[in-house]
Structure 1
Amino acid sequence: MSKEIRNLEPTELWNNFADLNAVPRGSKKEEKVIQFMVDFGKKLNLKTVVDHVGNVIIKKPATKGMENRKTVVLQSHLDMVHQKNSDTNFNFDTEGIKMKIVDGWVKAKGTTLGADNGLGVAAIMSVLASNTIKHPAIEALFTIDEETGMTGAMGLQAGYLDGEILLNLDTEEDDEIDIGCAGGIDITAKNVYHEVHTPSNSVGFSISVKGLNGGHSGMDIHKGLGNANKIMNRLLYESQELLRISEINGGSLRNAIPRESFAIISVSSAKKDTFLKKINTTINEIKKELKTVDANLDISVTETSTPKKVMTTISQITLLNTIYAAHNGVYRMSNDMEDLVETSNNVARVIVKEEKITILCLTRSSVETSKFDLANTLKAAFELGGYQVDLSGSYPGWKPNVNSAILNVLTKTYEELFNSKADVVACHAGLECGILGTNYPDMDMISFGPTIQGAHSPDERANIKSAQKFWNYLLTILEKIPSKN
């Protein structure tokens, strides 16, 4: 299917995307893609450097007649979110993404596609490699680890870039121009518990929550999608007097709404029928509540071998109450921008095994004080349950600048090209612009990109027509970059 992808228009964009997707590039495992990008720059005989954290910077002089225009930084991140369906056999560390075309969209086979932010990377590569595209001096900035901490953007020091304008190519709706974003903070709660031998005359059950849509924990948080960790906790909470927990394994990455959760429990043989009746009632209630947004939700309760050990009753009560108390979803809407989520939290990961509990959350907000308000709300809930709580990886949001000069260029260009007005928005995702602005405060920044749906989930897909629209838009913008002062 790679040939079919490579034949799509614009061919230079899709060929570079296919080349990129052949390289493993998970967050914090970017060694191969860093080398790939260095080799790419050097092959073009362009100045190529890698900074101390692993960001790659490739510089290309202006084309003839464009030397007096402002230098432009084209920026995208190299890493991608690794998510796959539970029935997909795939090794992200060694295999390239397997792609297919479905009804005008490019998708991956059972995994995330990496269009976030691979299409942005591929677009920049195409500009760097071209001998025909008109453009000012280009500084291509390929950052690392955007998805799990933005450590690349945070580690980029002053002095590497001279550009006056930064075009971030990481927005996922092609009719939007982004001028602001949310910041974030990681919340990690850990606890220990006591195990006891499973009571005699018990039967084991495996509970699985699958089939949820999942998605981006920022861009999709307002959709009311099911969170597998919260669903599992509700199932266990409603029947807690009838069961004993042995293990829980739910969710995966902080920035992905959890699609799956699995638990092993024991139930007294004498109460087996009562338990099944009770939990099936809860299952039906949850499915009814989520049928509009998560029609494929699948919750199964299957008899299995009885676990050897389970949590003590008090440990179980504390665990279930704590997770129930942890806020998940939208916390506050913005008072300044219509329909913008200001603050939210994603209960992303729950692991209960061998007398250790780990709960991972990602809190986002476009307002720093509100971000820490929700973080402290969660911290308080966890600490009441006896958890040790660590707040880490805090990064700032990006404050909108409605008077941006490059914004004026983009809005006028969009209207001229497409005979309609673009939506000027701020998003509830974490873009790197706010962080990059700390060391480059005078740089005029904007973000846009092609339409991508289902990012951070195996349903991720990139619209083919939108990629063409995005490419034409980018090339026209580069031609219209203002002259130097």
Structure 2
Amino acid sequence: MSQDIRNIAPKVVWNHFADLNAVPRPSKKEERIIQFMVDFGKSINLETFVDKVGNVIIKKAATSGMENRKTIVMQGHLDMVHQKNADTVFDFETQGINMYVDGDWLKAKGTTLGADNGLGVAAIMAVLSSKDIQHPEIEALFTIDEETGMTGAMGLEGGILKGEILLNLDTEEDDEIGIGCAGGVDVTATKSYKEEKTSNNVTAFSIAVKGLNGGHSGMDIIKGLGNANKIMNRLLFEGFEKYGLRISEINGGSLRNAIPRESFATIVIDTISKEGFLSEMVVLINKIKTEFLTIEKNLAIDIQKVNTPKNVVELGVQESFIKAIYAALNGVYRMSPDVDGLVETSNNIARIIVKDGAIKIGCLTRSSSESNKWDLANSLKACFELAGFDVDFSGTYPGWLPNLNSEILVILENKYKELFHENPKVAACHAGLECGILGKNYPNMDMISFGPNIRGAHSPVERAQISSTQKFWKLLLEVLKNIPEKN
């Protein structure tokens, strides 16, 4: 890690971020980061405890003269999305993130940076460890497992917190104040199949779709970026329809909340048809690249001859699988009728595994409308069940309904205007924030979300803007000084 990072202003934020990023913190494996936060809280002599699901709570008394202000909850999540480039050698479970400064941006070498939500956590740590920042009484809430199920927020019991205002520091646009978000549900389709012995007189190929941008499956879904699973399926469909292509294995995508950047398949073709197949693939690949030319400049689709696999997918199952993926919606389902430019409902076909007699398809369906979330989820269920799959819904979480009469919203808007001489955007986002879940057990808590500019979250091109983080920090300090008095 470059020492330059620790010298960036505000040093207190970037130093805490550097310390945080030295600790492996994959979702569902947060034991080390939980202990790190407990040790941090105790090292500065603050009341620190872990709730029954693993969330860390650190409490700090108000500074002198701020005792009569409302107690605030400062909230961020400890886990991070783990994505890396295929050619990057890196172990997220044992290594800290390799960071470097590139002009006005902080980046990681071939992996996700962890600015989502590490910068928010670091900012909270900076306030907790400070000696000279004015603030009311603080309850710092560091949740676990936000990225793969929000189980930390779901497991937080009512009554643990007494704060009246929650500052969620987990948005990615520094000119935006978040007042709402989408809910989501995991849709998983599974099917077993009989492996058929590979025929004689066939030629085997590997197909690799790679080089896509990927990105956040909520915030970036509106961009129309390439989905490696859908692109791969186009190739498989064409090869099957015209040349009898048979699938041996598929490994596509990774996490549900990341738009798939890569997909890999092993297939076979009757040797007599291989030249026609390869010629047809060249034509289709060029068409696909042309379609994505302006937004996926690094898209690469490679077909290489490989050793013949022993088995292929049962023919009938293969056909229904390919057609189901073709039919299943990926991308925007409905735009919000109330907020210009906001995606209301979408789906990400995130993960496809075909191997050893089993098929698994993982989707994440999002919506700010609970009824439309289930409408799309049921549409996907119908599609996959018609193809003979078993479908399971899991990990459902609610959206966060905007409150335009929010007291903390008025404060943030006014302070933003005073500091930066322009109006902030007040918006809901098409991503899963924990506010909606936390609001179920704390329905009277006034909530708001804001943060610095982060680009490419959930992908190896994730980067955090240094000047924007300075802007965010300036706003946060001003907000802390202006929390209203207790009723």
**Per the shorter chain, which TM-score range?**
over 0.9
Whether 1:318 and 2:317 are equivalent positions in the alignment is no
How far off is 1:279 after superposition?
1.1
* Deviation by residue 1:342-361 (Cα, 9 ceiling, x = unmatched): 00000000000011000000
| Structure-2 residue corresponding to 1:221 | 221
d(CA) in 1 for partners of 2:129, 2:163: 19
| Structure-2 residue corresponding to 1:252 | 254
| Structure-2 residue corresponding to 1:20 | 20
| C-alpha contact 1:71 1:139 (8 A) present in aligned 2 | yes
How far off is 1:35 after superposition?
0.2
d(CA) in 1 for partners of 2:176, 2:186: 28
Secondary structure of 1:344's match? strand
* Deviation by residue 1:65-90 (Cα, 9 ceiling, x = unmatched): 01111111000000000000010000
Moved more, 146-155 or 191-200: 191-200
Secondary structure of 1:346's match? strand
| Structure-2 residue corresponding to 1:406 | 408
- Letter of the structure 2 residue corresponding to residue 181 of structure 1: C
| Structure-2 residue corresponding to 1:276 | 278
d(CA) in 2 for partners of 1:80, 1:446: 21
Q: How does 1:434-473 map to 2 (within 5 A)?
A: 434-473=436-475
* Deviation by residue 1:280-304 (Cα, 9 ceiling, x = unmatched): 1111111000111111100000111
| C-alpha contact 1:368 1:397 (8 A) present in aligned 2 | yes
- Letter of the structure 2 residue corresponding to residue 383 of structure 1: E
| C-alpha contact 1:2 1:18 (8 A) present in aligned 2 | no
| C-alpha contact 1:5 1:100 (8 A) present in aligned 2 | yes
Whether 1:67 and 2:100 are equivalent positions in the alignment is no
Query: 358, 361, 364: which one pairs with 2:360?
Result: 358
* Deviation by residue 1:155-203 (Cα, 9 ceiling, x = unmatched): 0001111110000000100000000000000011100122211111111
| C-alpha contact 2:234 2:326 (8 A) present in aligned 1 | yes
Query: 368, 373, 376: which one pairs with 1:374?
Result: 376
- Letter of the structure 1 residue corresponding to residue 322 of structure 2: L
* Deviation by residue 1:409-461 (Cα, 9 ceiling, x = unmatched): 00000000000000000000000000000111110000000000000000000
d(CA) in 2 for partners of 1:403, 1:45: 37
d(CA) in 2 for partners of 1:432, 1:291: 36
* Deviation by residue 1:211-242 (Cα, 9 ceiling, x = unmatched): 00000000000000000000000110011142
Q: TM-score, normalised by structure 1?
A: 0.99
Structure 2 residues not aligned, in runs of 5+: none
| Structure-2 residue corresponding to 1:114 | 114
- Letter of the structure 1 residue corresponding to residue 113 of structure 2: L
Q: How does 1:93-242 map to 2 (within 5 A)?
A: 93-241=93-241, 242=243
d(CA) in 2 for partners of 1:45, 1:422: 37
How far off is 1:313 after superposition?
2.2
- Letter of the structure 2 residue corresponding to residue 87 of structure 1: D
d(CA) in 1 for partners of 2:453, 2:171: 8
- Letter of the structure 1 residue corresponding to residue 250 of structure 2: I
- Letter of the structure 1 residue corresponding to residue 330 of structure 2: N
Whether 1:476 and 2:478 are equivalent positions in the alignment is yes
Identity of aligned residues (%): 68
Query: 321, 336, 339: which one pairs with 2:338?
Result: 336
Query: 412, 416, 419: which one pairs with 1:417?
Result: 419
| Structure-1 residue corresponding to 2:79 | 79
d(CA) in 2 for partners of 1:270, 1:187: 40
* Deviation by residue 1:305-339 (Cα, 9 ceiling, x = unmatched): 11111123212111100111111000000011111
- Letter of the structure 2 residue corresponding to residue 257 of structure 1: I
| Structure-2 residue corresponding to 1:305 | 307
| C-alpha contact 1:228 1:251 (8 A) present in aligned 2 | yes
How far off is 1:103 after superposition?
2.4
- Letter of the structure 2 residue corresponding to residue 283 of structure 1: I
Structure 1 residues not aligned, in runs of 5+: none
* Deviation by residue 1:124-161 (Cα, 9 ceiling, x = unmatched): 00000000000000100000000000000000001111
* Deviation by residue 1:381-402 (Cα, 9 ceiling, x = unmatched): 0000110100011100000001
Q: TM-score, normalised by structure 2?
A: 0.99
Whether 1:296 and 2:302 are equivalent positions in the alignment is no
| C-alpha contact 2:191 2:358 (8 A) present in aligned 1 | yes
* Deviation by residue 1:444-483 (Cα, 9 ceiling, x = unmatched): 0000000000000000000000010000100000001111
How far off is 1:2 after superposition?
3.3
How far off is 1:101 after superposition?
1.0
| C-alpha contact 1:363 1:371 (8 A) present in aligned 2 | yes
4+ runs deviating over 2 angstroms? none
d(CA) in 1 for partners of 2:147, 2:204: 38
How far off is 1:380 after superposition?
0.3
Secondary structure of 1:256's match? coil
